[in-house]
Structure 1
């Protein structure tokens, strides 16, 4: 028997960190709690379905159990962890990686993106993705999201809610299961709309998008159209990592060396897009960017990112009136103090 619908919490001014599943257990988790206790950080984004397609907690979703996606439970006491976060006034966000899902592609190959020969397609890193046109894939991810909301997460954040990058090249290599002749942005919007309807007021919804979506006038071949996504979620989180921008973007020769400049220009464009949207839509997503708190050693030239560089990014956005932020470090090691 279902209990009464949970009222969504009051909107928070989120200042958060990414917490991998491995960082959500043991002494590492205690250290991260301490970081939040000692700073103005107030939010954790916790992996509950990660980049490999593994579900990190003991899920009761039928298909998760059928394919064994939670056969390696990392966070054994998720519910009590969420209760601890609540008691401490820490806002909790469940990160769900959606369409990059090598595990589901392997276990249910009918859902995988196929190449023109009918075999499983892989991206340039050898990773299989599921076909975003498959509505069974939508429902699988939405069931996990609903469960996360029922467990007590304040918000569900969808990551890789897109098609693989290098869209033109991919389109030449694959055949999508697109009987309804939808465009890529329509698919992404359709998924988010259904998620919002199914989750209702149990939790807020957010979506991670490519940094350049703030400035691009199209979906960049990956289905991420800023205006369409903004209408379906409460928060939109462009990944504004300076290291991910190519030389010359916004007139900046070495983006990784100039965090303030990159964030300032990206947020300015995002604000402009939102102002346009507000003329026709009363409800649009708030901007809550991801910032870089890692050193991109693979970028030439690059700099070692520390507290000062993180603060430069925060300051640049604040000057445009955007105060919320999330910090990304894949190992959950932060310089923010």
Structure 2
């Protein structure tokens, strides 16, 4: 029987911060605040596995050679002893490491060779059955190790979908559309994980648009499958005037309220159609986007404004993202 997902108020924790003094500081933060959850990298943005894995393809590829978390079971016990809900983050289809050692699993150019995005990063082909099995095997292992929930990030295709489609030869004999493939993968993952909640991260605009933006993420396909859906509604990631909000980074309350209002509306429509709908647990901004022209420093005040915007819509859970894993919830 699948356990229900906890109403998590969580933070992102990289594998490098999930140890030593950094870990103790983060545990203290959770003990001193209303926070109750940590999202911990199991497979990170580089495609590296953060602990000593027994998954066959991990060992074949050497994906866990760095393994910054020496004792994952011990870490999870330490967090459980502090009543911390643990979420395993698995970066699914952006996997430059696996592409470097198993080029046959990478997205391939129509002209031959491994395709790379505009930043030079290689992605695995989401259609490839070995790629799907790899991510699901890691999820199953994370659940067996004791994680309370499995979260899939980058469960999508690369951006600039039309350009990608013109350049990439996908391994797609079934002729599935991108949204069909993403939904199919999540269905397989959920079936393979009968005892833990499954969550998926989606683009912040996903609740507000009708299509998949060329990346395969359609709210109305994903929400009925997973237990929790986490739109990444970082104000800094919206363009000027997006959803009617000028300078989104300067208006965190308004931006979050507007974006999540669309998420609530989409879920209500699903429920009216007698479909299930995932719990909404947004990713909120806890970092300063200094590269944005009209930006501000994000501290406790800006984080609290976002939390309030979600709460005012009846959403009493959230995740905070800061790549450096430094968080402030108390206004000075």
Would you call these one fold, judging by a TM-score over 0.5? yes
Q: Which residue of structure 2 lines up, in the alignment, with residue 72 of structure 1?
A: 66
Q: Which residue of structure 2 lines up, in the alignment, with residue 266 of structure 1?
A: 259
* 2:294 paired with 1:288: no
Cα distance, 1:316 vs. partner?
Answer: 0.7
Q: Secondary structure at the match of 2:284?
A: strand
Q: Secondary structure at the match of 1:261?
A: helix
In 2, distance between residues paired with 1:167 and 1:248? 23
Q: Which residue of structure 2 lines up, in the alignment, with residue 235 of structure 1?
A: 228
For the 8 Å contact 1:52–1:102, the answer to whether it is kept is: yes
Correspondence 1:1-337 to 2 at 5 A: 8-201=2-195, 203-337=196-330
In 2, distance between residues paired with 1:113 and 1:216? 26
In 2, distance between residues paired with 1:8 and 1:92? 16
For the 8 Å contact 1:146–1:198, the answer to whether it is kept is: yes
For the 8 Å contact 1:8–1:154, the answer to whether it is kept is: no
For the 8 Å contact 2:47–2:95, the answer to whether it is kept is: yes
The two structures have a TM-score, normalised by structure 2, of: 0.98
Point out where structure 1 has 5 or more consecutive residues left out of the alignment: 1-6
| Residues 116, 10 of structure 1: alpha-carbon distance in 2 compared, 3 angstrom cutoff | closer
Cα distance, 1:10 vs. partner?
Answer: 4.8
In 2, distance between residues paired with 1:207 and 1:131? 18
Q: Secondary structure at the match of 1:200?
A: coil
Q: Secondary structure at the match of 1:182?
A: coil
Q: Secondary structure at the match of 2:194?
A: helix
In 1, distance between residues paired with 2:56 and 2:169? 28
**Aligned-pair RMSD on alpha carbons?**
1.0
Cα distance, 1:11 vs. partner?
Answer: 3.6
Point out where structure 2 has 5 or more consecutive residues left out of the alignment: none
In 2, distance between residues paired with 1:9 and 1:296? 37
Judge which range, 7-16 or 106-115, deviates more.
Answer: 7-16
| Residues 10, 89 of structure 1: alpha-carbon distance in 2 compared, 3 angstrom cutoff | farther
Q: Secondary structure at the match of 1:32?
A: helix
Q: Which residue of structure 2 lines up, in the alignment, with residue 4 of structure 1?
A: none
Cα deviation code 1:186-244 (max 9, x no counterpart): 0000100000111112x110000000001010001000000111111100000000000
How many equivalent residue pairs?
330
For the 8 Å contact 2:5–2:149, the answer to whether it is kept is: no
In 2, distance between residues paired with 1:326 and 1:147? 23
Cα distance, 1:115 vs. partner?
Answer: 1.2
Cα deviation code 1:166-197 (max 9, x no counterpart): 11111111111111110000000010000011
| Residues 301, 112 of structure 1: alpha-carbon distance in 2 compared, 3 angstrom cutoff | same
Cα distance, 1:283 vs. partner?
Answer: 2.5
Cα distance, 1:8 vs. partner?
Answer: 4.6
Cα distance, 1:250 vs. partner?
Answer: 1.3
In 1, distance between residues paired with 2:61 and 2:94? 16
